[in-house]
Amino acid sequence: MRRRILISFFLPFLGLLILSPPGLAQQPQTQKPLTNSDVIRMIKSGVPESVILISIQSSPPNYDVSPDGLIALQKAGVSQQLMTAILTAQEGQQNNEGSAAAATVSTPPLVPAGTPTPPPATPIAGQPSVAFLSGNNRQEIPVEKTQLAETKTPPKSMAGLASDSAVTQGLEVGVSTAASEAAARSGSFGSTALGQTGSVFTGIMSRRKPMVTYVWAVQNPASANASPMNPPSFAVSFAGIASVNPEEFEPEVVILAPSNNFRLIGATRGKADEKASTAVDWQIYTGFVEDRVATKSQKLAPGQYQISVTSPLAPGEYAVVLRPISKTKQFSGAAISQNLGDGIMFNAVWSFQVPASGKP
């Protein structure tokens, strides 16, 4: 009898438990967004930077990325790598919020009737891309493998470096070394499209680590890509590249200097062992030598640009490159030589030619 009474008493409660949704039994915990204070506290507590970086990349962001906020982070000892990760995370959050807001708005932008709209560059996950624009047509330009050579010759002009036999020797050695590495890693952007920067001749090395000139170049005396129009226009995309803040770069057009079987892009000074350093302290672009072409640039979104050369180009070899907006931006030599993060950006080159006839 007692057993029957107990069953009758608990049966209604058992039904409620069965019918209750799982969320009432155990609410999922939402992850707390990280803030500037959280990052500073972790640094002062001695948490390894690699662990902090993972936390930034995996946690919802709520950072103060205003000038005052960034200055406070720098004064607290936050490294450039962590600050870049913070900016990237916060920008991604803002882009997601903007996309969600845009999805609820169906009002199209006001565009005058008949206005041609060139297509933007097609983002390729993890890779920058460039395309010729001609009206509504686009023609993708393949990114080329870069080589890096060293010489004692000061970088006074690209024409002077093009006639330096030491540069040619270093580039030839680099091609031989990089060829086997590229063959072993076919299919990846970091090995076949750009390739690891080639080894350089070592005759100029010394135990005192002297200052040398680093020279960037692409192989072959001429580009296979002819500009469909003169002056040319381009769509450029470099959003979504790991460990890269797209707000720190912008596209430019440069003149290439022919040198035997290569075309030189630009050059800068650095220590003889700079390319092996993992420290983010190499101001590559502060004294970088290159021959720029005047362009008109339109920023469509972070890492999305349309650029146009302002005047017809003389017949010759040219390239679209990605350059830091701040000339004092610091790079890691290892990132440059191994095409990692900002190294992918700085090494990327899309060459093209303007034929002597002015027609492709």
pLDDT tens, position by position, 151-169:
888 888 888 887 877 777 7
Beta-carbon contacts of residue 311 (< 8 Å; ≥ 6 apart): 231, 294
Whether residues 71 and 139 share a domain: the answer is: no
Domain that holds residue 48: 31-90
Cis peptide before 231 (omega within 30 of 0): yes
Tell whether 85 is covered by a domain.
Answer: yes
pLDDT tens for 323-359 read 999 999 999 998 898 888 899 999 999 999 999 864 4
Tell whether 123 is covered by a domain.
Answer: no
Whether residues 150 and 238 share a domain: the answer is: yes
Whether residues 36 and 175 share a domain: the answer is: no
Alpha carbon dihedral 196, 285, 313, 114, in 10-degree steps, equals: 90
Whether residues 149 and 292 share a domain: the answer is: yes
Identity of residue 285: Y
Tell whether 9 is covered by a domain.
Answer: no
Burial class from Cβ neighbours inside 10 Å (0-12, 13-18, 19+) for residue 360 reads middle
Tell whether 116 is covered by a domain.
Answer: no
Collect the ranges in the chain with pLDDT lower than 50: 2-3, 5-7, 9-28, 99, 101-123, 176-206, 358-360
The predicted model scores a pTM of 0.60
Task: Give the pLDDT confidence score for residue 25 in this predicted structure.
Answer: 42
Task: Give the pLDDT confidence score for residue 93 in this predicted structure.
Answer: 66
Tell whether 62 is covered by a domain.
Answer: yes
Whether residues 76 and 135 share a domain: the answer is: no
Whether residues 257 and 350 share a domain: the answer is: yes
How many structural domains compose the chain? 2
Whether residues 74 and 207 share a domain: the answer is: no
Whether residues 271 and 328 share a domain: the answer is: yes
Whether residues 193 and 325 share a domain: the answer is: yes
Task: Give the pLDDT confidence score for residue 301 in this predicted structure.
Answer: 92
Tell whether 103 is covered by a domain.
Answer: no
Task: Give the pLDDT confidence score for residue 30 in this predicted structure.
Answer: 63
Task: Give the pLDDT confidence score for residue 175 in this predicted structure.
Answer: 54
